[in-house]
């Protein structure tokens, strides 16, 4: 009897441990399976995400430009934009830059984009003034905003919205992609002592500033940057403006016209845009649109920084070249400002878009100038 009991007890213990082991094994198997399933699900998600990314089509745009890419600040900025787009997209977004005139005339870039001849271009919108009168307000305004004032209006006020709305009927989507500071007021063979010196003067001048000089009796013409030196050298024009001193020096104006006037009253900022065919833009994936906009926004601040960094050394070297940098007297500036105001009023009366955009800019400045007048040191402080 006792032997039977003794035999029975070990069998019971063994049975208990066997059941526990089986249960534990089942639990381990369940956990392992669950983890594996989760891992496979994550892997499936990852694979799906990769597949979705790789299924997105590549973007290749031929991008003609209005300014030669050899021009410091003004022209070279588009090369950085193309490089950044390529780098950030890992080669999926490529902008191939073409020099002025290679694909399309430099003054006809937005028309080429509109007509679908090219998908995108890089230009100064003021060249469209003849068919879209409000464009100078988005490019360069005489006695207008300084660069950071313009970007504040553009990004934080109504600027971007109004710019896109202006070009939507023309089937073009403009993106602010670069900005530099004021130009010089022009290169002249003879000194300017009064506004009467402008009467009959043959001068290359762009935008609304050109309209102002026409009102003062000058004969104003528009010539692409690459053709100005030859026109100046041959006497087809007596004087010219184009850009900042570092750019103008590169084009050789200082070899012919030695009187360089300041400040650049007619162009207190110069804004450049990447213009994209509207249907092409709308067909892009939202993340691709965001990437291009971000690259352009970065291009704006880098372009401004680059332009500002170059000019001091150029002016310092004027003396060795026999160039005379001169400041326009306050009296002449006041007279130019008065004529400018009249031109702006006339333009606003003749075009609703011009009136709408100019009103927006004036409203923004009326508020901003309160801050500007209180926050910043006077420019002549400490002099």
pLDDT at position 55 is: 55
**Judging by beta carbons within 10 Å of its beta carbon (0-12, 13-18, 19+), is residue 318 exposed, middle or buried?**
middle
| Confidence tier at 30 by pLDDT (50, 70, 90) | very low
- Which CA distances in Å does 93 have to 27, 291, 335, 352? 51, 9, 49, 37
The answer to whether 190 touches 261, Cβ cutoff 8 Å, is: no
CA 150, CA 180: separation in Å to the nearest integer? 11
| Confidence tier at 29 by pLDDT (50, 70, 90) | very low
Domain range summary for the chain, segments of one domain joined by +: 57-179+270-308, 186-268+323-375
User: Do 186-268+323-375 and 57-179+270-308 have the same topology in CATH?
Assistant: yes
Residue 189 has pLDDT above 60, yes or no: yes
pLDDT at position 379 is: 87
CA 177 distance to own-chain centroid: 1
Give the pLDDT mean for 281-295.
98
Give the pLDDT mean for 124-128.
97
CA 228, CA 222: separation in Å to the nearest integer? 9
Write the CB contacts of 62 (distance below 8 Å, at least 6 apart in sequence). Answer: 96, 98, 103, 118, 119, 120
Residue 26 has pLDDT above 60, yes or no: no
CATH 3.40.190.170, domain 57-179+270-308, yes or no? yes
Give the pLDDT mean for 129-158.
97
pLDDT at position 210 is: 96
| Confidence tier at 7 by pLDDT (50, 70, 90) | very low
| Confidence tier at 38 by pLDDT (50, 70, 90) | very low
Give the pLDDT mean for 282-298.
98
**What does the pLDDT look like over 238-264, one tens digit per residue?**
999 999 999 999 999 999 999 999 999
pLDDT exceeding 90 applies to what percent of the chain? Answer: 84
Bridging pattern class, strands 324-327 and 259-262: parallel
Q: What is the mean pLDDT of the chain?
A: 89
**Judging by beta carbons within 10 Å of its beta carbon (0-12, 13-18, 19+), is residue 154 exposed, middle or buried?**
buried
What is this structure's pTM?
A: 0.85
Closest CA to 226 of 245, 253, 207, 188: 253
CATH top-level class for 186-268+323-375? alpha beta
pLDDT at position 380 is: 85
pLDDT at position 15 is: 41
Closest CA to 69 of 94, 102, 111: 102
**Judging by beta carbons within 10 Å of its beta carbon (0-12, 13-18, 19+), is residue 286 exposed, middle or buried?**
exposed
């Amino acid at each position: 009897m006792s032997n039977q009991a003794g035999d029975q007890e070990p069998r019971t213990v063994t049975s208990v441990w066997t059941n526990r082991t089986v249960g534990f094994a089942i639990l381990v198997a369940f956990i392992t399976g669950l983890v594996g399933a989760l891992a496979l699900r994550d892997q499936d998600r990852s694979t799906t995400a990769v597949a979705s990314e790789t299924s997105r089509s590549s973007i290749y745009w031929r991008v003609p430009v209005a300014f030669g890419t050899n021009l410091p600040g003004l022209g070279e900025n588009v090369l950085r934009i193309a490089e950044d787009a390529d780098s950030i997209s890992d080669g999926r977004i490529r902008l191939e830059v073409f020099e002025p005139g290679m694909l399309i005339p430099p003054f006809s870039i937005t028309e080429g984009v509109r007509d679908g001849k090219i998908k995108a271009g890089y230009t100064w919108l003021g060249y469209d003034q003849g068919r879209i009168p409000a464009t100078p307000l988005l490019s360069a305004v005489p006695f207008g905003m300084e660069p950071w004032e313009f970007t504040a209006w553009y990004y934080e006020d109504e600027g971007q919205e109004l710019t896109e709305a202006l070009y939507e009927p023309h089937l073009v989507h403009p993106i602010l992609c670069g900005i530099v500071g004021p130009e010089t007021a022009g290169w002249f063979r003879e000194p300017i002592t009064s506004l009467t010196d402008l009467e009959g003067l043959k001068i290359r001048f762009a935008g609304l500033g050109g309209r102002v000089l026409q009102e003062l009796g000058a004969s104003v013409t528009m010539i692409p940057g690459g053709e100005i030196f030859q026109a100046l050298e041959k006497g087809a024009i007596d004087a010219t403006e184009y850009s900042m001193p570092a750019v103008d020096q590169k084009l050789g104006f200082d070899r012919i016209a030695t009187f360089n006037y300041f400040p650049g009253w007619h162009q207190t900022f110069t804004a450049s845009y990447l213009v994209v065919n509207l249907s092409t833009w709308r067909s892009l994936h939202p993340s691709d649109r965001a990437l291009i906009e971000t690259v352009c926004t970065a291009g704006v601040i880098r372009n401004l920084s680059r332009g500002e960094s170059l000019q001091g050394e150029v002016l310092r070297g004027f003396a060795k070249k026999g160039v005379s940098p001169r400041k326009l007297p306050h009296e002449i500036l006041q007279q130019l400002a008065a004529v400018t105001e009249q031109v702006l009023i006339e333009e606003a009366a003749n075009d609703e878009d011009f009136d709408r955009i100019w009103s927006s800019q004036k409203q923004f400045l009326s508020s901003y100038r309160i801050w500007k007048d209180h926050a910043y040191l006077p420019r002549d402080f400490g002099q």
